[in-house]
Structure 1
Amino acid sequence: MHNIHASQPLSGPLWPLLLKAGLTLLKSLRPFGTEPREFSHQLPAPTLAELGAYQQFFGFTPDIVPVCFYYPLLQKAQLASMLQCAGLKVAGLIHLHNNLQAAQNLTPAQFCAGGPLQIQTRLSTVAHAKGVLLRAEQQLWQQQQLVLSGSSDYLLHKAPRQTAKAGAATAQIQPGQPLCDINTAPDAPRAYARLSGDFNPIHLWRWSALLFGQPQPILHGMASAALLCQALPQPVQQLQLQFKTPVLPGIPLQLTQQSTERNSAEYALWQQGRLCLLASLQSWPNGTATPDAD
């Protein structure tokens, strides 16, 4: 039987949850266990001004809700759910994968004026070559209609070095067809933090980045994903991400197309020869890219 928690309101900024997550480093670690845990949170819908600021920063057209825009909403529910798990050290979890799939192609007006959001989160553990993953499977509902489903994988416990090496893929990914360069401003992490509420210290200051083994503040993974999506000609409905290495702001990125199939493709972001992000995505079917703004 799953451990199910009653629905809870979740309002206000993200940073108090991040602060509480940081304090989990002081907790005594307890095993998460094998039993899934389910949570439900209610959030207010974002405002048109908040969505507009996001669209403007990344250069999205004003008539769509970019699929990456939903992630900070899911992230808030993820953190609130994780913080209810006694003994779980939330700080330091490494984000490996993220999947997002929109079920409705809403206009900004429809989404922002559609009323409160209900986010259901299921936390469980998954065996992986790199160790044990904490998986957060989520659904976002509005007016009893499914808007988006997604999942995020975090490295909870690292596998022994030899086991990790044995389970790792031996094929090295090579750059595909180059499409364009994408510039990133040196202050992009702080700008995205203001947009998303994700003020994780690793994105803000050099000293905190150094503590986590990075030479400088790194760009949020979902900001990198948004840059990739914005550079594509069609709005994205479904996105499967693998975060490979951090993106350092102020250094151009190279977008390559790794493969393509009917209505779907695989792209990658590279920086100074390093593979940073691998994305398998699917565009909205023809005729649904821009819905009517009723």
Structure 2
Amino acid sequence: MTASNQIKMNALPSTPSLLLRAAITRKSPGKMSPAKPPVFPDTVITVDNINIDTTQLQRYRQVCGFATHSPYLPMSFLHVLAFRLQLAMMLRKEFPVAPMGMVHLSNTLRQYRPIEATEKPSLRCRISDSWLSSKGVEFTFICSAYIGQDKVWEDESLYLTRMKTGIAKDKTERPALQEFEHREPWQLCPEQARQYAKASGDYNPIHLHNLSAKLLGFKKMIIHGMWSQAACISALEASVGERSECYAEFKTPVFLPATLQFCYQQSEQGIDFGLRNESGDKPHVEGYFRPLA
């Protein structure tokens, strides 16, 4: 890593302005093949000593269901700050694919210790790896939070940019849906997506209104995938240790309004959970909690 590959920002960039730039950014990576994969930048973006916006934090807690008077940040909160660095990376000229239209496939959060809301974390963001699949280009962001020299949190976000790659589709049969011991009904309304947009700064039009979602290829507006992971964390955090990993795979979009089943159960490894449609036969999110050694 050379000095030219390290970008130090004085403050976090604004999410709405980044999204506006992303909406008008066009990139053509050219024809992809296993012999000619895209080249992602070997760059690290950092922002030091970030002041947590208490108003934003309270909005986030409320819309995701976290306790509003906790002295600690929700496990998933720093993702909304790290997402700004992800967008900043995507908008750099050397980034090989356009940011709009990307699909968030999964997200892994690792909390190494609780972070107090009064602490000032530093964030570092980089691309860890990338590869071609039958669906397109897949790549992973790693965003880490530090207090001093200690890594206290990590976010691993897997994205997909759809394009032809010449790789045959995997024809392996999907495994049967997992059976869960506990199921709870959840009611979601469109206003929750707009409230999450305000709390996170992620005003992607697919989450704001049916009309704007239809313009971008969706039949109706959808809830943010990261709201889904956060809501599952808030529902289960009382049963999870202070050092833990939470994985969420975003299987299918949740169109709003919606009635969902929140499913969960203890396992030998930790806690497994999922979000499914009202009848329970279509998975929207599948995930788990695991303790960290």
TM-score tier by shorter-chain length is 0.7 to 0.9
Distance 2:249 2:185 in 1: 20
Match of 1:58 among 53, 64, 72: 64
Q: 1:183 to 1:222 in 2, by over 3 A?
A: same
Contact 1:188 1:249 (C-alpha < 8 Å) held by counterparts: no
**Alignment of structure 1 residues 171-190 onto 2, 5 Å:** 171-190=175-194
Contact 1:66 1:235 (C-alpha < 8 Å) held by counterparts: no
Letter in 2 for 1:45: N
Give deviations 1:149-172, integer Å, cap 9, x for gaps.
Answer: 121111124466982243x55323
Match of 1:219 among 213, 217, 223: 223
Distance 1:284 1:105 in 2: 13
Which deviates the most, 168-177 or 234-243? 168-177
Distance 1:228 1:134 in 2: 25
Query: How many Å apart are 1:212 and its aligned residue?
Result: 3.4
Match of 1:99 among 108, 111, 120: 108
Give deviations 1:225-279, integer Å, cap 9, x for gaps.
Answer: 11212222424631111100011232121011266124x1211100133210011
Residue 145 of structure 1: aligned partner: 150
The TM-score, its normalising length taken from structure 2, stands at: 0.83
Contact 1:36 1:124 (C-alpha < 8 Å) held by counterparts: no
Query: How many Å apart are 1:56 and its aligned residue?
Result: 2.3
3-state DSSP class of the match of 1:37? coil
3-state DSSP class of the match of 1:136? strand
> Identity of counterpart residues, as a percentage?
26
Q: 1:29 to 1:207 in 2, by over 3 A?
A: farther
Does residue 275 (structure 1) correspond to residue 280 (structure 2)? The answer is no
Distance 1:194 1:154 in 2: 23
Unaligned runs of 5+ in 1: 286-294
Give deviations 1:16-37, integer Å, cap 9, x for gaps.
Answer: 1111111113x44457734652
3-state DSSP class of the match of 2:76? helix
Distance 1:160 1:12 in 2: 33
Distance 1:118 1:230 in 2: 23
Letter in 1 for 2:21: K
Query: Over the residues paired in the alignment, what is the CA RMSD in angstroms?
Result: 2.7
Which deviates the most, 4-13 or 196-205? 4-13
| Count of residue pairs brought into register by the alignment | 278
Does residue 229 (structure 1) correspond to residue 229 (structure 2)? The answer is no
Match of 1:238 among 242, 245, 255: 245
Query: How many Å apart are 1:41 and its aligned residue?
Result: 2.3
Residue 249 of structure 1: aligned partner: 256
3-state DSSP class of the match of 1:150? strand
**Alignment of structure 1 residues 114-133 onto 2, 5 Å:** 114-115=119-120, 117-128=122-133, 130-133=135-138
Distance 1:22 1:185 in 2: 26
Query: How many Å apart are 1:77 and its aligned residue?
Result: 0.8
Distance 2:145 2:212 in 1: 33
Distance 1:53 1:13 in 2: 17
Query: How many Å apart are 1:204 and its aligned residue?
Result: 0.9
Match of 1:41 among 22, 32, 46: 46
Q: 1:215 to 1:68 in 2, by over 3 A?
A: same
Q: 1:116 to 1:269 in 2, by over 3 A?
A: closer
Does residue 261 (structure 1) correspond to residue 268 (structure 2)? The answer is yes
Query: How many Å apart are 1:214 and its aligned residue?
Result: 2.0
Residue 289 of structure 1: aligned partner: none
Contact 1:104 1:146 (C-alpha < 8 Å) held by counterparts: no
Contact 1:187 1:249 (C-alpha < 8 Å) held by counterparts: no
Unaligned runs of 5+ in 2: none
Q: 1:170 to 1:41 in 2, by over 3 A?
A: same
Query: How many Å apart are 1:59 and its aligned residue?
Result: 2.5
3-state DSSP class of the match of 2:239? coil
Letter in 2 for 1:121: R
